[in-house]
Structure 1
Amino acid sequence: MNRLRVSIAVTVALAASLLVAGPAAAATVGPPTNLVGVSGNKLVVLTWTAPTVGANPAISDYTVEYSSNNGVVWTQFIHEASAVAGLTVTGLTNNTAYSFRVSAVNSDGTGTASSAVVVTPVSNHTANDLALFSACPAGLIPAAGFTDTTAAAVDCVAYYGITKGTTATTYSPLDTVTRWQMALFLTRMAAVSGSVLGSGADQGFTDIGGKSSEIQTAINQIKQLGITVGKTATTFAPDDNVTREEMALFISRFLTTATAGPGGNTEYVTGSSGAKEIKSIDTDHNFTDLNLVYLWESQTSISNLWNLGVTDVQSSTVYEPREDMTRAAMATFMANALNHTNARPAGLVMQASTYRVSGTPAVDVAITYRTDAFAPIPSVLVDTFQFVYSTTATIVAFNTNGTCTGYVTTVTDGSKCQVSASDQSLDANGNHSFQVGLGANSITNLWAWTAATGTNYDNDIHATGASKITIETTA
């Protein structure tokens, strides 16, 4: 009997010891809340609010899990232990939807998981080769007068005579663009951009005979320029709609034939020396649907135009290469492409690369001079001067008789407020570019004007023919 009592006592003691030394009870810490994910390039930045329920013992870490199949399989993201309520999950695949959940960890164990959030990482490239200046500066281009659109891009291409509208008062922005229409648009675009159009002699297309002589000439001219190779060696398919893939090819090829304007992006035609042409060699982009494009030239054309800032979908992740171009999108492509070319408004025009900037930067400025037909006017002396605005009433740019005050200074070479032989002369393309340094927290007015050599500026006489811009700097 005594042996039995001893045996029972030992068994009870052993059981008690096992209960004490066994595994810890499940953590009672509650789930994190307010889980938010922000997508990045192959990553997602997660933030959340730490749980308030059961957070004693203190939280020492968080378990972060992700799933690419809607929570069927979860993968733990390995990271250094941290009690910070936020983490960047890396190594993800762009354009894949991921579910994320987070659990708090303390000395008791891992708590309840948060509600899941779904985030899709995407590439976040930025276009690197934008034009510095515009072919259609704001405020200088008149409205085209169409009743069905007020888009600035449509006003731009209408200003240069590239489009005439579907009627005198309508543009039909949602209509598609046929290949024969595109040929006309491209040749008109070439005429104001410095491209040299060919004779329009027969290029061997056998399916354009039913079109007008103007259309046939335009089709043959874009073949001569290398803008088109045709649907086949002997067919152009003039009545087919232009796809967005074809548009990229047309505009990319066109730009290589155009004269670069001030601030247009150029790269070497081949290699690292020699002649240059308008293009980008940056292949980055954010489009997810270029797998639908089989021609390598098409893919590079699309990424080229995106980096030049030409496409109508600069902030989108889809290009839709197989869709038909609309007339609205066509106008956007063409207006943005013109920015890189030598197409500039009629008259003497000065532009800045920015009109409001922080700090004390050197801002790029361009002066262009064109005839009413947009032909460059070269070798003209242009005087430039500037005035920094002051709140003091007596500090002004001009005297009461219209002449410059002592507060006006020259911008580049030459005599102040006088056209002189030492002023800058426009180049063969009718342009002059320079940089101007600006003070902090200032408003600076700049003028460009021209007249006979020796003429002094009189604001009462010359203001209407001068070009004036204002640049503001902030802290």
Structure 2
Amino acid sequence: MSALFASLFAVGASPAAAIDEDSMADAKEPTSACVGEALQDQGFTDLGTLDTAKRAINCLAYYGITAGRTADTFDPNSNVTRSEMALFLYAAANVMGIDLMGGDMMADFGDIAELAENRQNAINALARNGIMGGRGSMTFDPDGNITRAEMAVALVGLVDKVPGSGVTKNDDGTFTVDVGNGTVDVFADAFGATSGPVNSAISAAYELGITSGVGDGTSFDPTGYVPRLNMAVFITNALAHSNARPAGLTAQQVSGGIIVSIRDANFAPVANAEIDAFSHDTADAARAFNADGTCSKRFGSAVEAGTQKCTIDPVDPVTGSTGNYNMTVSIADKGTTVWVWTGAMGDSVSSSTDLYELDLKPAEATANVAGFAKVSTDFNTNAAFRAKFGSTVTYTIQLVAAVDTDGDSTADEILNAPPDAEGDKYTITLTFPNGAVQKSTVTMNASGSGTFDVSAGDPDPSSRGQSVAVAWTVDVLASTTGDTSTNLPQLYIDADTVTATTVSGADQVTGTVTFSDVTAVGFDLKAEAVRSHSPVANSDNPMTGNRITVTVTDQYGDPIGNIPVTASSPASTADPARSVFPAKARVTFPDGTVTLPYSYTGTTGEIETVTVTADLGPGPDGEAGNADDPTDLTATATVNWTQNGASTTAADGTDTAVGPAAVLVAEADSNLLVLNVSSVPTVYVYDANDQFFVSGAPVTMAGFEENLAKVLATADAGDITVASYKAGEADDVASFTWVQ
């Protein structure tokens, strides 16, 4: 992970890590409630090619959790209100087998009396059980749009009511999720903007596989709203953490085989139901049957050893009290097809037997192209930064494997904890300025990781202004016993967190930590626009604006307050009325932060670079007699002032494509792209009706967004060409072609 938090909230026993491109949900269920009949088309005509969302919408409609706006439309892009969400959750709880009749939380909202009785009942039941609360004192705000943060709290609270879900709600309102040997992940924007309980719910929702981030996937947007299509996906992901299954018999692949489920017409588990299963290699699966639909005696085999193939006999298994049964299945190299059915004792397979067919795929083989040991730290080891005397800087050595995921014999993904990592040892050497040397050994644990600490005391507590540089070395070959091990993975440095002399592919890496008691001064300045893009002013809204968040820290990484900060931009210099920043400097708060609001009246799109300056005093730079004035700190933030993309199709039907244009912003949740069209940030909105291409190959909308998400964090996110685009027409079929 790119950054570690030393302490957080109770989301799990593992350390917390900021979500990045390598993050994954560690508590996601391998099975789903949306299988078999639950995936049948429910007749909605406005879903286009939404793929995942379409499956989820059909699934919710099958279970009766939600219906369309009309008999044949679902209205997938409309936001979900809080009272609607309460109805959906209440219905989902019933399908999940959760009893909401009790509950000891207070539920007395003064603004729901005019709602239909079913909505009132749902809201009160959820509130009594601590699943969904109100907004403010005695108010629920039923017509307000539910936010992504509220949705996460409610869905995790719902899963908490499922026995054995691995979710626990603590006394302080936070959630604990069992992530096994995984790492609890957090969204940086949620961590800084929401309370501990809400933070933990958002992280829990991610770890459970209920929801993911927005944009490049590393932000959550806790205050964003939830469209109906996203709601459907989130609820079906939550259903997976229950025993909900469609009526009849279904089967799903799990580790080591399959799980067979049988439910009645009301989705209740059916216990003691007889089950028979037989299988054949997928490549020639048809051989398992005779021409008349009966089982072939020559081909195929019974799944359960000792049972009679294609006949219900006394040795066949039965479902348990949960209505499920796990079967062990041997899977051929090229896949195995399994047929599962239920019947009465003595029944045999015929052409009229209702068989559930499931193709099982073998576990994906991964080729370890090379093994490495990644050295990282949560301390900023930029050479100019300092650690305080008496403090400890912790480094982590994480064994990783470079994996070939696409079969081209090139490592293209890094995965933690390669096989047989436990027990590998690395020698650590610390060298102090007085010549003293300390040696130790780090032994990798079962997760393939180990840590070592670097610290130094104050050599002369009676005086200030001293610094001590401690050099550290991680060595593959050296050993405290004199032995060598040439088989250990080579070392490489996590360049995002560690400054060292050797970066990768080495038997030895070295670095330095400088400890000091030098007086703290302003050292580092960061600036970021609250909104990366905003629309330009227009006749209806002659003035718009944005805010720049500024953070000032000292050389120890600690925040500094009372530092005057100002902002300017070329736009404000060229036209003082266009970008108007605060006339007087604003000073940082004790936490080192301050927000600089500003107005903008420009009507033409532009990429504005805002320069923020922190005046470190004691007087204005350049003023006579202030030669000792510390140099000001400067940083920049980028704001994309956007215009809406015009139609590319003329009245006569001719089309003039736009692009290729560089991608500035991509927001999957709002189906929005901001492209750099002739230096003007231009907004294009897409939907499932459109066509999508990646490097010339057609893909789904989800595939298009997935490819974009992988590279948005890089310096070059590629270019997009837009064609057949009709601005403001939801039914148009535009094409978006992306090339990295």
TM-score, normalised via structure 2 length: 0.42
Find the structure with the greater CA-based Rg.
1
Aligned to 2:64: 161
Cα drift, residue 180 of structure 1: 1.0
Cα drift, residue 400 of structure 1: 4.5
Summarize the Cα distance change of 1:379–1:226 in structure 2 as closer, same or farther, 3 Å threshold. Answer: farther
Aligned to 2:279: 386
Contact preservation (8 Å) 1:187, 1:222: yes
Equivalent residues, number: 338
Contact preservation (8 Å) 1:418, 1:457: yes
Q: State the SS of the aligned residue for 1:289.
A: helix
Q: State the SS of the aligned residue for 1:285.
A: strand
Contact preservation (8 Å) 2:36, 2:246: no
Aligned to 2:46: 148
Selected match of 1:198 from 98, 101, 106: 101
Selected match of 1:467 from 345, 356, 360: 356
Aligned to 2:124: 220
Matches within 5 A, 1:298-317: 298-313=198-213, 316-317=217-218
Q: Please list every run of 5 or more consecutive structure 2 residues that lacks an aligned counterpart in the other structure.
A: 5-16, 49-53, 366-740
More helix by share: 1
Q: State the SS of the aligned residue for 1:125.
A: coil
Cα drift, residue 145 of structure 1: 2.1
Matches within 5 A, 1:27-176: 41=2, 122=20, 124-137=22-35, 141-150=39-48, 151-176=54-79
Contact preservation (8 Å) 1:256, 1:279: no
Distance in 2 (CA, whole Å) between partners of 1:245 and 1:284 is 17
Selected match of 2:229 from 317, 325, 328: 328
Cα drift, residue 123 of structure 1: 5.8
Q: State the SS of the aligned residue for 1:173.
A: coil
More strand by share: 2
Cα drift, residue 138 of structure 1: 7.2
Cα drift, residue 426 of structure 1: 0.9
Selected match of 1:449 from 341, 344, 353: 341
Matches within 5 A, 1:287-298: 287-298=187-198
Q: State the SS of the aligned residue for 1:446.
A: strand
Distance in 2 (CA, whole Å) between partners of 1:467 and 1:321 is 41
Q: State the SS of the aligned residue for 1:367.
A: strand
Matches within 5 A, 1:270-419: 279-281=177-179, 284-285=184-185, 287-313=187-213, 316-353=217-254, 363-389=256-282, 396-400=287-291, 402-412=294-304, 414-419=307-312
Selected match of 1:424 from 299, 317, 327: 317
Identity value in percent: 31
Contact preservation (8 Å) 1:223, 1:229: yes
Letter in 1 for 2:343: A
Cα drift, residue 311 of structure 1: 0.5
Deviates further, 322-331 or 150-159: 150-159
Distance in 2 (CA, whole Å) between partners of 1:142 and 1:390 is 27
Q: Deviations over 1:81-104 (max 9, x none)?
A: xxxxxxxxxxxxx99xxxxxxxxx
TM-score, normalised via structure 1 length: 0.64
Aligned to 1:102: none
Contact preservation (8 Å) 2:261, 2:325: yes
Q: State the SS of the aligned residue for 1:461.
A: coil
CA-based RMSD: 3.3
Distance in 2 (CA, whole Å) between partners of 1:343 and 1:250 is 18
Cα drift, residue 252 of structure 1: 0.3
Contact preservation (8 Å) 1:256, 1:278: no
Summarize the Cα distance change of 1:210–1:199 in structure 2 as closer, same or farther, 3 Å threshold. Answer: farther
Q: Please list every run of 5 or more consecutive structure 1 residues that lacks an aligned counterpart in the other structure.
A: 1-39, 44-93, 96-120, 271-276, 354-361
Cα drift, residue 313 of structure 1: 3.1
Q: Which has the higher contact order (CA 8 A, sep 6+)?
A: 1
Q: Deviations over 1:144-183 (max 9, x none)?
A: 3222224222122122111112222222222221111111
Contact preservation (8 Å) 1:283, 1:300: no
Summarize the Cα distance change of 1:419–1:199 in structure 2 as closer, same or farther, 3 Å threshold. Answer: same
Distance in 1 (CA, whole Å) between partners of 2:37 and 2:116 is 37
